[in-house]
Structure 1
């Protein structure tokens, strides 16, 4: 099967390699000419046979503009796939705009990071059954070997919704491991924190790929001394909490993990300054001044 692929960065570039290794024909376009197979979206469209399928793998901030530009060079019967971390609520309006031109739309939540080329990508797909069926050779090539790693989650928007929840869970799991690491590091009797993390990788109920990656990071830097605690968020955690509020679903762990990332960006928390001031005022507790 042929596929156009727009966006050949850390994820898109590896996806192109995995697809080609599986025997799929991929025509890639990137604003960086060194990565690109073609010079423009129009040339990309010309190199594909109808019905054409084009996968968009660009940052969320430019996804709408990229899809609109693609719509100008594609036509009836073609399909656009958005595999980026878009907000699920953007999908239905996009699908409606494209439907006016006879162009199909599928949203795919993609998990696998920079390891996906080797391990395969978990794919959470939203869209019409006919479009999903047409694209199955691409999904089969990208997903891990075996029976898992792929789901047709529902209609348009369901794929990105599933990926949003996936990333919210990821926030909570990462923070649980991080808190465990900090407590072990603070314990007087513990002398081998990296060894403990490594020992959990087999035979325990907390083993996971995330734990494997923490072990790998500690192999490189046992005290994580070269890193700062500043941690960004790319939006999915916020969207997950927004949905929890809308649906009145208690997301205690995920919400706490998101707020912890906000705390990581403060050199000296104004809230904790206020707490220290209050303790001093009502109880005469000692305060630490600069």
Structure 2
């Protein structure tokens, strides 16, 4: 299958590589010429602009956007206007607000799929989890690509109409915040409790058969192995928060109580008001390091 990828950052490049490995033909574009050249070296057909991507594709154009949420998505759609029609498909694989996705689906002629994407850079090897919203025919048309990008056929599904994919991903991220906070609080108690514990050993033991085993717990083990049980210089500062904020806002509108997600979000905001050299809360320091584990986000550190 031939399709285009616009945006060759970490996640976009994974989409390209996994699809090339699966035998698909990929036309690749990014504003970074070096990123385009690297993708071409891997086997993609290079494009020098968004219109060039559309020009290189056949009559049934299939395009995956992996650009930052917000204005860059609208800018890409504006450039595609007049080059795609109702028989073509555009996938938005970023963390767009579901309301923006609903608006875009209404305002563009193209079949628009909002695709919540989870898995981080680890998806290069394992594949992503894909939560897709939009027309069923468009989802089915993109299924060969979704099979390649996801962990396999079980790693993706159509959630419902336009907006539902990013809606499910939004709530996913809220749950993620709460899970990170819960692990952080548990390990904070262990770190400051009555025994001198090897937290890497605790995490490894829990992750082998315990009820609370998970990938996040594997990343806790990784963090303690690389930073030590005291987490070294990892700072009490947790970045991010947009999707968690959207989750809490939606919960308020729907009158659904989400106290754990709300508190986890509040902890993130509170972490940004602390002195960067203050050791601070262990739970937030672990959440900081976990963000590196699954997303390779920069780890804020304190000066010793």
Bin of the TM-score, shorter chain as denominator length: 0.7 to 0.9
How far the C-alpha of 1:94 sits from its partner, in A, is: 0.8
CA contact (8 A) 1:127 1:154 kept: yes
How far the C-alpha of 1:70 sits from its partner, in A, is: 2.1
CA distance in 2, matches of 1:90, 1:42: 23
What are structure 1's unaligned runs of at least 5 residues?
A: 269-290
1:1-290 equivalences under 5 Å are 1-36=1-36, 37-61=46-70, 62-99=72-109, 103-145=110-152, 148-222=154-228, 223-267=230-274
Count of residues in correspondence between the two structures: 264
How far the C-alpha of 1:72 sits from its partner, in A, is: 4.2
* SS, match of residue 90 in structure 2: strand
CA distance in 1, matches of 2:198, 2:147: 43
Structure 1 stretch 117-126 or stretch 69-78: which is displaced more? Answer: 69-78
CA contact (8 A) 2:199 2:224 kept: no
Name the residue aligned to 1:276. none
CA distance in 2, matches of 1:191, 1:203: 20
CA distance in 2, matches of 1:140, 1:169: 25
What are structure 2's unaligned runs of at least 5 residues?
A: 37-45, 276-304
CA contact (8 A) 1:41 1:70 kept: yes
Name the residue aligned to 2:289. none
Flag the structure with larger Rg.
1
CA contact (8 A) 1:106 1:128 kept: yes
* SS, match of residue 3 in structure 1: strand
Report the TM-score when normalising by structure 2.
0.84
CA contact (8 A) 1:41 1:73 kept: no
